[in-house]
Amino acid sequence: MKISELSPEYRQPPLHAGLLTDLNRVVADVETLDASDSSSPEKIAADLRRLLTKLASAASSSSGPDAAFRLKVWNLGFRLWNACVDRANHGFPTRVAEAEIRQAAPELLLLAGLPEDIPNARAKAASFFHRTGLVWLDLGRADLASACFEKATPLVSAADSEGERAVLLDLNLARARVAFSTGEQALAVALLSRSKPLAAASSEGVKALAEEYLRIGKAALSTKPPDPALDAANLLTEALDLCEKAAASPSCATPTTPGSTPATPNLQVIKDQCLRFLAVERLEAKDYEGTLRCISVWRASLGLGEEHPSIGFMALRACLGSGNMAEAERELKTLMANAEAPDCVCVSAAELYVASTGPDAAFKVLIALATRCHTGAAAAAVRVLKKVVESAGAETGHARAIAELASDERVVKLFDGPTNTHERSTMHALLWTCGTEHFHAKNYEIGADLIERSMLYVSRDDESRSRRASCFRVLCLCHMALRHLDRAQEFIIEAEKVEPNIRCAFLKFKILLQKEEEDEAIKVMKTMLGYVDFNPEFLTLSVHEAMACKSLRVAIAALTFLLGLYSARKPMPMTEAAVLRSLITLLLREPGSEAEILKYSRRAKLRMAELGAEAIFGKGTVGLRERNWFAVSTWNMALKMVKEEMYDYCTEFFELAAEFFSPVNGEDDANGILVCKSLIMGVSAMFHVEEVNKSPLSDSDLKRGVEMLSKAGKLLPLTLPSAPVTSDPLEDNNLLFLHTSNFYRLLSRMDTSAHPQQLQLVKNFAASKACTPGHLLKLGEIASEGTQPNLQVAEFLLKASITTALASHSPSYGIISAALRRLVCLAGIQDLSGSTSDAVYDVFQQAYQIVVGLRDGEYPFEEGKWLATTAWNKANLASRLRQGSVARKWMKMAIDLSRHFENMKQYVSEMEEYFERFQKSSGKEPDECSQQDGAPSTSLSGSVSQPGLV
């Protein structure tokens, strides 16, 4: 009985039958897989991974699968592979899951072993791995591709058969490609070298190896790998040598039968490519002779057929690089004549040619391009001319040649028609840019020429108005720079016709300035304000232009126009204070402009009051500096007018200075002294005006002066010295003295009810530390003069002056003597008014007491003489009036005073004689004068006639 005849319960199932069943099911699923089912490939790939793991475990067990099992696995592997190939042939998308399913087929073959019944089993398994690796390469997974190639290589490494050698060659070439892409260039070259013996046995192998050398050579040429062992020239040379050897072998001879193909495939295409890229490599290495040799061989191999356009292009580059311009021109003509050469290649060649030869040869090239490029002649001309401009640089001769070329009728005609609108704009922009570059380089003549030629490419429609106007304006600027002012004016007039705007008006203004037509320039400047695109910045520029042309009048007018815009609250380029400052600065240069300066200084003050200091001058340090400028300016202007004795505007300038110096918004009163000084000197200027004009101050002026001095009085404590002033010069700039004297003079214009106020005013001054004897004397003189003198104040001041002077360490007897003389005059007025006191004699007694003990010359000579003479003359008057006792006392005073002055001693003896005669003639009347306390005593006698002293 056979085993098969046994009942089922006694029959043993095949080993690993379940694994085969599962594999068969999965393979069947792949064979029936629908393209619309997107989730199934991933599931099948996962199932295959699981089954491959089980199969690997079974294959490694001690009771491994038998030959029948292995054969069935091989069959399943082939079915799986064929199913994957069918799916690929029917256009199924190549995805990772599909690649995993495909790789499962060679994996099954590898795990099943190599059955002896299957021919070329190793080559087939290795081929499956090779083709699967190529799929992974297409998916960008070089790592998985390399793994497939590495699994396949040991299977055919022995290369026992032709099939194994062919597969091993394919594997080596694929591994070389992967190694190169992953940066292992040395390994790639080694694999190619290792493949040479394998390729030698087959013409197809030679072709494949040559293609791979070519592919890697081209990649090395484009990527420039850092590895010096990977030289593009060497790789391309290897490919070329393989082609040459294959062509020389007997197997590639003529076909054996008519119509049959040679055993060796046609390698001419690969050879041509090798020569082409070798020429590129030599060209990049600037080996122009080597490039031309490669091209020569290439052309020789072509025979009479049409050559590729790249040959002529590279030949042109090599000829230009080697400096062979004649040969380069022939190459360019050949390329232009090649019907297969694209227009873009011809234009690029023309660009290279004219870049080397310059604008002289550009015209012939442009005409050739116009003939060659039937549809894009204008675009080609633009490209060539652009290259000419770039290569010409700033050389004037080349620029003139460009201008002539661009304006030639035949070149301009290329740009006719509505289809060339873009090219015309580009051409205009090219010439415009070139012209403006020369303009900025101050090559104005050539710049103007290029700009004018550029207008040949600007249409006269409304859309081009702005461009044409810009050309006219630049031409105007060029001729202005060349001082061709009439020509410049013609261009700006044309620009205004095309597009009237503020820029045209400004250029016209500049021309009129340079022509020194100031009235017309001011008129044009005034019209600027009416333009729609007017910007105040143009008035600022007008000021600068006027100053550059030294036209002060026009600059002032521009600033005046600019100033008129501030009331409209428009955005302005400068602060209003800056405009006023500039205007005043310019007016200071103009003689007789004091009224205008005052007008704009007034405006600064009014705007400060209206808007606030920060709004008009600015904030922070900048604003403070700006306001100080106005303060100093008005102050200096006032001082200048005082110096020149032009007092009409002095008071207001001083008053404005005080306003500008005054602190605002809580600022520190750092300028308090200047404010005080400005106010006081302003009132002083009022009195000067009164004196010069011989007209009394009005009531409003008096009220204004009182307000100014009242304000100054509040600031005076800041100016007072901390110690008494020991010197007594009559300084007009002593603030407290000026304040007191001016205030006193204002009060004196009122009725006598102000006398007590005047007295208190001078008493306060006399008590201050700033008071000096000279100040008191001056005030005393003021008090004793005028239509309404205040004698009480005058007496107080003169006596205080004497007292203060005597109390000093070095008394000024000039001041003392002057005060004594004034006191004598005041006392005389009191005596004449009927006073019972002998006030004049009291003053002489005080003078005598001061004189006694002084060295000769300390007391002023003239004042001493005046005292003695006055006393003697008073005695003479009393004698005539028969007042003997009065006459005697004044004679004694005169004689005693004369004895203390060296220059009066010559008169003393004569005076004494007269006094004795007078004593005898007047009888024995008691001498009342000698009985008074402090009276000078004498024993002189006089005669009846009294000598006169002068």
Cβ neighbours around 609 below 10 Å, total: 11
Contact 198, 172 (CB under 8 A): yes
**Residues forming beta bridges with residue 942, ordered by sequence position:** 917
CA 431 – CA 428 distance, rounded (Å): 5
- What is the reported pLDDT for 554? 94
CA 472 – CA 494 distance, rounded (Å): 7
Cβ neighbours around 881 below 10 Å, total: 10
Triad 417, 421, 423: Cα angle to 5°: 105
Structure tokens, 586: 């310019």
State the Rg of the chain over Cα: 61
Triad 728, 733, 739: Cα angle to 5°: 95
Between the two ends of the chain, the Cα-to-Cα distance in Å is 193
Structure tokens, 918: 């007078």
In terms of C-beta density within 10 A (0-12 exposed, 13-18 middle, 19 or more buried), how is residue 196 classed? middle
CA 923 – CA 917 distance, rounded (Å): 10
CA 85 – CA 97 distance, rounded (Å): 14
The parts of the chain modelled with pLDDT lower than 70 are 1-16, 35-39, 62-65, 225-229, 248-266, 302-306, 359-360, 374-375, 391-395, 568-569, 665-669, 719-733, 752, 830-837, 923-950
For 413, which DSSP code? H
Contact 689, 735 (CB under 8 A): no
Structure tokens, 172: 């080596």
Question: Which helix (H) or strand (E) covers residue 838, if one does?
Answer: none
Structure tokens, 797: 């001041």
Contact 192, 184 (CB under 8 A): no
Smallest CA-to-CA distance from 808 within 737, 726, 730, 731 is with: 726
Contact 353, 326 (CB under 8 A): no
Residues 6+ apart with CB under 8 A from 551: 513, 516, 518, 521
**What are the distances in angstroms from CA 220 to CA 215, 227, 229, 236?**
9, 10, 11, 10
For 407, which DSSP code? T
CA 136 – CA 475 distance, rounded (Å): 67
SS3 at position 139:
coil
Instruction: Print burial letters for 63-94: b (CB count within 10 Å at least 16), e (below 16).
Output: eebeeebbbbbbebbbbbbebbeebeeeeeee
Structure tokens, 424: 């015309």
**Residues forming beta bridges with residue 917, ordered by sequence position:** 942
Smallest CA-to-CA distance from 127 within 92, 161, 178 is with: 161
| 400 conformational bin, left if phi > 0, alpha if psi -120 to 50, beta if neither | alpha
CA atoms within 13 A on the CB side of 617: 24
Cβ neighbours around 905 below 10 Å, total: 11
Contact 135, 165 (CB under 8 A): no
Smallest CA-to-CA distance from 625 within 616, 617, 613, 633 is with: 617
Residues 6+ apart with CB under 8 A from 577: 604, 616, 617, 618, 626, 627, 630
Amino acid at 802: I
Smallest CA-to-CA distance from 384 within 408, 399, 367, 371 is with: 367
- What is the reported pLDDT for 349? 81
Amino acid at 950: V
CA 872 – CA 614 distance, rounded (Å): 72
CA 291 – CA 679 distance, rounded (Å): 95
DSSP assignment string, 296-326: HHHHHHHTTSPPPHHHHHHHHHHHHHHT-HH
CA 872 – CA 876 distance, rounded (Å): 6
**What are the distances in angstroms from CA 144 to CA 113, 123, 148, 223, 298?**
22, 20, 6, 24, 40
In terms of C-beta density within 10 A (0-12 exposed, 13-18 middle, 19 or more buried), how is residue 856 classed? exposed
Cβ neighbours around 419 below 10 Å, total: 11
CA atoms within 13 A on the CB side of 419: 8
- What is the reported pLDDT for 890? 94
SS3 at position 842:
helix
SS3 at position 942:
strand
- What is the reported pLDDT for 45? 87
- φ, ψ of residue 928 to 5 degrees: the values are -65, -30
For 644, which DSSP code? T
CA 707 to chain centre: 51
Residues 6+ apart with CB under 8 A from 218: 232, 236, 277
Helix and strand element counts for the chain (H, E): 45, 0
CA 19 – CA 111 distance, rounded (Å): 13
Cβ neighbours around 210 below 10 Å, total: 25
Smallest CA-to-CA distance from 132 within 140, 120, 144, 119 is with: 144
CA atoms within 13 A on the CB side of 83: 25
Contact 808, 816 (CB under 8 A): no
